[in-house]
């Protein structure tokens, strides 16, 4: 098919033959400069003949006087996106698989014309997402329910609703990572070099050229026939592309290794400085990156402050404030104590007299603060102990209404003290329940006890 002596490929197509012949004659007649000039003339098909070894050392593409290496493929140019799509379809129909199209912008329908299958990326992303969901759930089950189960207010250690936020995040995380890296890997990116980059024609792929390259490794590849096919498909020019004859020159230039080493070392400098700062001492002041966050215009107690006439930030005690832990004169109301003994009746404070309103208030507070452990009926079967039991543990709030357990007989002052300061494994509620509300709760606990013991002690 290829006759190296006269540089003319065999061709059955008169059009191609004419174009090739014309090119050859012109090359001979007008020299390489004229041949190059045809690139700009869309009417002339520029085909650099296969196996064309220019004696004058310049075939328009190779700048150096050297023997081109192994053939990598051919690159054809088309003058419109439509022509590229049609050509791609022809090339595909001719049975080629190792080819690709290059255009300055995405061309609609090109993937279908080239016979590119739908990407498997969505499937990969789905797999990544599922892995994230399962992994996130497993992570939480392993840590919360298996490896280190920890009772938090009687909540179950393993519960789907509580685990959804984390699992959602891990799902998104793995989907995104799969999308990002999957896209790069499937597109074989990053690609800093490609044999076609050597061809001047290829530059137009980012300007106004619509290019189609077929690789020589394609089973159907035959330089002459493939070129002919492309010309028939409407190519305005076809160039063969040879690899560098010197394999060493196909490698990364050595200076780049130097650049990589140097940038790596530079990137480590901040880390080295941080490591040094952690290991050494310095008498220099801090370097403040965010001045206004480090120095905020605010009042610190015991520091000078201009905004007040006396120049102090500390405003002293506000009238009527009772500091937690300080003694209060009304020991009955505040501590449930009378002359050092538990108060048996009610404090003489108008707001905590046994009235229907106080009872209602007490019920509401009890249901919020006590029922989770002691149960709505006071028998000690709230959700917390029940859940602890489910997970195999034991947490036993006192039965508040069973006379045998003794709470029924306890004076009001003692109940008040238990609510305020707790007892054994029950923590105190002084920080959460105001004093008057604690008395209201006691009133309601008494009502619970009576309803549990009709005709009983109280
Ligand atoms: C977090 C669970 C929990 C909550 C909430 C809780 N308790 Fe308790 N309570 C316990 C446990 C556990 C005990 C038993 C402590 C022990 O081992 O003596 C107990 C004991 C008591 C006792 C008996 C003390 C004694 O002297 O035997 C009283 C009275 C009591 N609680 C009242 C209340 C009241 C009133 C509230 C609501 C303000 C309340 N508790 C809220 C867990 C709780």
For the chain, which residues make up each domain, given as ranges?
2-118+191-250, 334-452
CA 255 / ligand 1 centre spacing (Å): 76
Please tell me if the CB atom of residue 444 comes closer than 6 angstroms to any atom of ligand 1: no
Q: pLDDT at position 295, please?
A: 86
- Tallying the residues shown for the chain, one arrives at 458
CA 390 / ligand 1 centre spacing (Å): 20
Q: What band does 188 get if pLDDT is binned at 50, 70 and 90?
A: confident
Please tell me if the CB atom of residue 445 comes closer than 6 angstroms to any atom of ligand 1: yes
CA 422 / ligand 1 centre spacing (Å): 7
Does 34 score more than 60 pLDDT? no
Does 398 score more than 80 pLDDT? yes
Question: What gap in Å lies between CA 256 and CA 263, rounded to an integer?
Answer: 10
* 371 CA: nearest ligand 1 atom: 5
CA 441 / ligand 1 centre spacing (Å): 12
Q: Nearest CA to 205 among 114, 34, 81, 61?
A: 81
* Cβ proximity of 241 and 73 under 8 Å: yes
Q: pLDDT at position 328, please?
A: 75
Ligand 1: residue whose CA is nearest its atom 20: 398
Q: In this structure, are strands 237-242 and 46-47 parallel, antiparallel, or unpaired?
A: parallel
Please tell me if the CB atom of residue 411 comes closer than 6 angstroms to any atom of ligand 1: no
Q: What band does 32 get if pLDDT is binned at 50, 70 and 90?
A: very low
- Taking only the tens place, the pLDDT of each residue in 327-363 is 778 889 999 999 999 999 999 988 899 999 999 999 9
Q: pLDDT at position 370, please?
A: 96
Please tell me if the CB atom of residue 440 comes closer than 6 angstroms to any atom of ligand 1: no
Does 313 score more than 70 pLDDT? yes
Q: pLDDT at position 5, please?
A: 42
User: Which of these ranges, 192-196, 318-322, 340-344, 419-423, has the smallest mean pLDDT?
Assistant: 318-322
Question: What is the topology classification, in CATH, of domain 334-452?
Answer: Cytochrome Bc1 Complex; Chain D, domain 2 (1.10.760)
Q: For a pocket test of ligand 1, which of 423, 424, 445, 446 has the largest count of ligand atoms closer than 8 A to its C-beta? A: 423
- Taking only the tens place, the pLDDT of each residue in 36-85 is 444 444 445 566 655 444 444 444 444 455 677 889 999 999 999 999 99
Does 264 score more than 60 pLDDT? yes
Q: What band does 314 get if pLDDT is binned at 50, 70 and 90?
A: confident
Q: pLDDT at position 1, please?
A: 40
Q: What band does 15 get if pLDDT is binned at 50, 70 and 90?
A: low
Q: Nearest CA to 135 among 96, 100, 101, 177?
A: 177
Q: pLDDT at position 437, please?
A: 95
Please tell me if the CB atom of residue 373 comes closer than 6 angstroms to any atom of ligand 1: yes
Enumerate long-range contacts of 58-62, CB under 8 Å, 24 or more apart. 58/32, 59/32, 60/32, 60/35, 60/36, 60/200, 61/198, 61/199, 61/200, 61/239, 62/242
């Amino acid at each position: 098919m290829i006759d190296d002596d006269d540089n003319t490929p065999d061709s059955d197509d008169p059009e191609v033959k004419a174009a090739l012949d014309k090119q050859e004659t012109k090359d001979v007649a007008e020299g390489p400069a004229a041949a190059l000039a045809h690139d700009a003339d869309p009417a002339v098909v520029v085909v650099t003949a296969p196996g064309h070894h220019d004696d004058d050392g310049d075939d328009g593409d190779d700048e150096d006087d050297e023997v081109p290496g192994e053939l990598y493929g051919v690159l054809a140019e088309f003058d419109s996106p439509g022509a590229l799509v049609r050509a791609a379809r022809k090339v595909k129909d001719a049975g080629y698989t190792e080819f690709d199209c290059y255009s300055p912008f995405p061309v609609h329908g090109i993937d279908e014309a080239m016979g590119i299958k739908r990407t498997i990326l969505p499937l990969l992303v789905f797999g990544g997402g599922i892995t994230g969901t399962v992994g996130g759930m497993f992570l939480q089950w392993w840590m919360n329910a298996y490896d280190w189960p920890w009772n938090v207010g009687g909540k179950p250690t393993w519960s789907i609703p509580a685990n959804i936020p984390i699992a959602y995040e891990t799902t998104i995380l793995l989907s995104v990572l799969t999308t990002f890296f999957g896209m790069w890997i499937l597109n074989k990116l990053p690609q800093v070099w490609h044999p076609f980059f050597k061809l001047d024609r290829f530059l137009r792929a980012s300007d106004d050229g619509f290019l189609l390259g077929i690789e020589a490794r394609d089973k159907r590849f035959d330089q002459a026939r493939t070129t002919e096919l492309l010309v028939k498909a409407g190519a305005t020019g076809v160039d063969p592309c040879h690899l560098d004859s010197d394999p060493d020159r196909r490698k990364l230039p050595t200076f780049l290794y130097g650049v990589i080493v140097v940038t790596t070392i530079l990137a480590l400098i901040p880390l080295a400085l941080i490591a040094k700062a952690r290991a050494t001492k310095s008498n220099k002041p801090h370097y403040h990156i965010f001045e206004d966050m480090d120095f905020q215009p605010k009042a610190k107690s015991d520091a000078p402050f201009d905004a007040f006439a006396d120049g102090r930030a500390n405003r002293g005690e506000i009238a009527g404030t009772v500091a937690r832990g300080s003694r209060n004169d009304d020991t009955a109301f505040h501590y449930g104590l009378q002359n050092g003994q538990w108060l048996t009746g009610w404090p003489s404070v108008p707001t905590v007299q046994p009235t229907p309103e106080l009872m209602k208030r007490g019920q509401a507070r009890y249901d919020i603060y006590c029922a989770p452990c002691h149960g709505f009926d006071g028998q000690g079967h709230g959700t917390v102990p029940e859940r602890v039991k489910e997970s195999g543990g034991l947490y036993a709030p006192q039965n508040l209404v069973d006379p045998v357990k003794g709470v029924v007989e306890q004076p009001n002052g003692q109940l008040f003290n238990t609510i305020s300061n707790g007892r054994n494994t029950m923590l105190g509620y002084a920080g959460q329940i105001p004093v008057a509300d604690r008395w209201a709760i006691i009133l309601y606990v008494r009502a619970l006890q009576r309803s549990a013991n009709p005709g009983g002690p109280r």
